[in-house]
Structure 1
Amino acid sequence: MFLTMGFVISSPFTCHAESIYTPPEQSREELYQDIFISLLMPHIQKQINNYYTKVLTTSPVVYPYFVYVLKAKRIGDYRSFDFLVKLKVIPVIGPHISVGIDHLTFKIRGSGDVELKKFEHIKTENLPENWKHMIKEQL
């Protein structure tokens, strides 16, 4: 028994946590990321509205500070202007009550066109009792 316990305790455990890179405060990188997210906000809000109108009686709000860049990559060669960007979005209702977590992947073209490639609903949050009336009844 002691041998088994010793083996279990000494075994390496692996844990995978989602890590989101956050640029240094007040940096040029943070400024550019904030500009980038601001330009995408109408596209983000549209997709959030499309999903949550099926489950809530009102559309949640997405604040830019609840949008995180998970992955960004250039499509094509060096200095091409087509990109794939994966975002983590936390929409809220009322006084910043999270309704869920979603991942949105957009294709952004140098022409300014933005196309949703993938919408993933990752998690549904349980609303507080006094906000449950916002949930649409399931048929």
Structure 2
Amino acid sequence: MRNARLRQAGTGFLAGEDGSAALEFITAGSILLVPLVYLVLAMSALQGGAFAVEGAARQAARVYVQAPDEAAARAAAIRAVQVGLDDYGIPGDRAAVTIDCGDGGCLARRSTVTVTVRIRVALPLVPDLLSLRSAASIPIEAVATQTVSRFRRAG
């Protein structure tokens, strides 16, 4: 008798609500999942860009202080930046490279060489319609400083 009453109660006001919790969970989950996935993609692109410019700047400063003369040093530093950025899938020709030398010349003993590398990392899934891709990019900069060895031969 009691089971019959429970069955009758299920045919009343709430009878059409069977299975709606799963549908609501899927809808709310997908509404929250899409921005979360985009956030992960964007942060991955930015982190890759940060690793790329930091490594490129550090390596460029290292090869600069080891070069035999300033012309070779500048060419080696630019090449190091291009290779470092290419390793992360960023075109090296889009980087802005600045090389600053301390007092006394770039390759004088115990002088410092500072290399600054700047790039713009485009956010993922942004179309190149009306130049939105360049507007939707984040600038990233890295600076590395190396000291010329005190045992360097005078050039």
Q: TM-score, normalised by structure 1?
A: 0.32
Determine which structure has the larger helix proportion and give its number.
2
Pair member with larger Rg: 2
Q: RCO higher in 1 or 2 (8 Å CA, sep ≥ 6)?
A: 2
Determine which structure has the larger strand proportion and give its number.
1
Q: TM-score, normalised by structure 2?
A: 0.30
